[in-house]
Amino acid sequence: MPKRGYKQRIIALVRGRSLKTVSRIIQAYRDERRKNDAAHRRRPRSKANAQDLCSVAAVNDKPFQSTKHVIGALGLDNLGDSTVRRRLREAGLRSRIAAQKHLLTSGKTPEVHY
């Protein structure tokens, strides 16, 4: 958009970003020709890809178990609950525990009033 002659303030309004953010993005593109975020040095992952695959396979076999059950079953006691949940989310598995359903047994039948 800056190449088209738009001012940074107009770009910020159109994109819904602050003027400072737009200015920083334009400067990064002008100086380094990058459109994405800069590379960061992050901590290495605390478990191997094989363990990721095992946890995904375990959840696929029994989809209604909680994250704590997955940790206990696979012996991943050194990992936190949120770490395993994040790794499963990265694999595309979300909301693995089913919603609560009303139990309908012979003693508890729904009452329908018309």
The tens digit of pLDDT for each residue in 15-39 reads: 888 999 889 888 888 888 877 766 7
Cα separation, 1 vs 6, whole angstroms: 6
- Return the residue matching tokens 């919603």: 99
Q: Are 104 and 110 in contact (CB under 8 A)?
A: yes
What b/e string do you get for 38-47 counting C-beta neighbours within 10 Å, with b at 16 or more? eeeeeeeeeb
Looking at residue 57, what is its pLDDT?
Answer: 78
Burial class (CB in 10 A: 0-12, 13-18, 19+), 60: exposed
The tens digit of pLDDT for each residue in 34-60 reads: 777 667 777 766 666 777 777 777 777
The tens digit of pLDDT for each residue in 58-105 reads: 777 777 777 788 888 888 777 778 888 888 888 777 765 555 666 666
